[in-house]
Amino acid sequence: MTGPDYDHFCQLVRRRSGLVLTPEKAYLVSSRLAPVARAEGLGSVEALLTKLRTGAPEALLQRVVDVMATHESYFFRDAGPFEQLSVSVLPPLIAARQAQRSLRIWCAACSSGQEPYSVAMILTEMRHLIPGWKLDILATDMSAPILRKAEAGLYNDFEVNRGLSEERRARWFRREPDGWRVSPTLRQMVRFQPHNLLQGSAGLGVFDVVFCRNVLIYFDVDTKRQVLDQLRRALAPDGSLLLGSAETVLGVSDAVEPVPGLRGLYRPARGLARSA
């Protein structure tokens, strides 16, 4: 699949989401757009691409961008970042926030919610260290359908068995006819909100910890730099940023710097930190 309609589609997706599609991804594009073409009553993906170029309603534009995003996620993904959160990130923050007695955590590009619920489990398990504190976990994604799933907090057997210990599953989930529902305690702790990383972070406030994992890999270098700059602006001067295991800022941005020995953990660069 090549030609002006395909090029137009790639530009549409990049402009709206930052996701980079190349000619080599034609097979992926075709397989993800085929169900959308069928649902639109069109005979082929090519016909859908033409419709997208020559005039399509906003809802269809959003739908095709959404299906091109990868929503893969699981509880306590890669384990390390969550270990770092409880062992290296939260203890000094808790010591530093004794006067305010509040913590703000942002899961940017949270997909189906496993990441913010994992964070909520950790915070609740550390409750004895922060009794009565105001805890705010903001979870955002550009995709409205995936946010609806996240907010519902309902997972199938496969999803609930990925990354969760038996103890955590028993403590935090209830069996329902359609799957496993996250407990009301955790659901009340997480606020889900649509947000596109290309639109900056102004208006979201300042965070002590930002998770932005497994999304920068899909962006080009300029977009990564722009997003990292925005994330740094959203971080408290002593805040922490956690990126995915395949993501690095080296050669991309000096807005944040790696914490030696703690892979995937970053702090605002000295001299660039947001003024409190």
Ligand X SMILES: C[S@@+](CC[C@H](N)C(=O)[O-])C[C@H]1O[C@@H](n2cnc3c(N)ncnc32)[C@H](O)[C@@H]1O
Of 10, 37, 67, 69, the one binding ligand X (CB under 6 A) is 69
Of 90, 123, 142, 256, the one binding ligand X (CB under 6 A) is 142
Closest distance between ligand X and the C-beta of residue 126, in Å? 21
Amino acid at 71: H
Query: Is 136 designated active site?
Result: no
Tell which positions 4-33 bind ligand X, by CB under 6 A: 17-19
Of 143, 201, 230, 253, the one binding ligand X (CB under 6 A) is 143
Check if the beta carbon of residue 66 is closer than 8 Å to that of residue 141: no
Annotated catalytic residue: which of 5, 14, 63, 141? 141
Query: Is 53 designated active site?
Result: no
Check if the beta carbon of residue 151 is closer than 8 Å to that of residue 114: no
Amino acid at 216: L
Annotated catalytic residue: which of 32, 53, 168, 233? 32
Q: Is 111 a binder of ligand X (CB under 6 A)?
A: yes
Q: Is 77 a binder of ligand X (CB under 6 A)?
A: yes
β-pairing, 102-108 with 207-212? parallel
Closest distance between ligand X and the C-beta of residue 218, in Å? 6
Alpha-carbon distances, residue 269 vs 48, 83, 105, 141, 208 (angstroms)? 45, 23, 19, 26, 15
Where helices occur in 126-270 by DSSP H, the ranges are 144-152, 157-160, 166-172, 184-189, 221-234
- Cite the active site residues: 32, 141
Task: List residues binding ligand X (CB under 6 A).
Answer: 17-19, 69-73, 77, 109-111, 115, 141-143, 146, 196-198, 213-215, 244
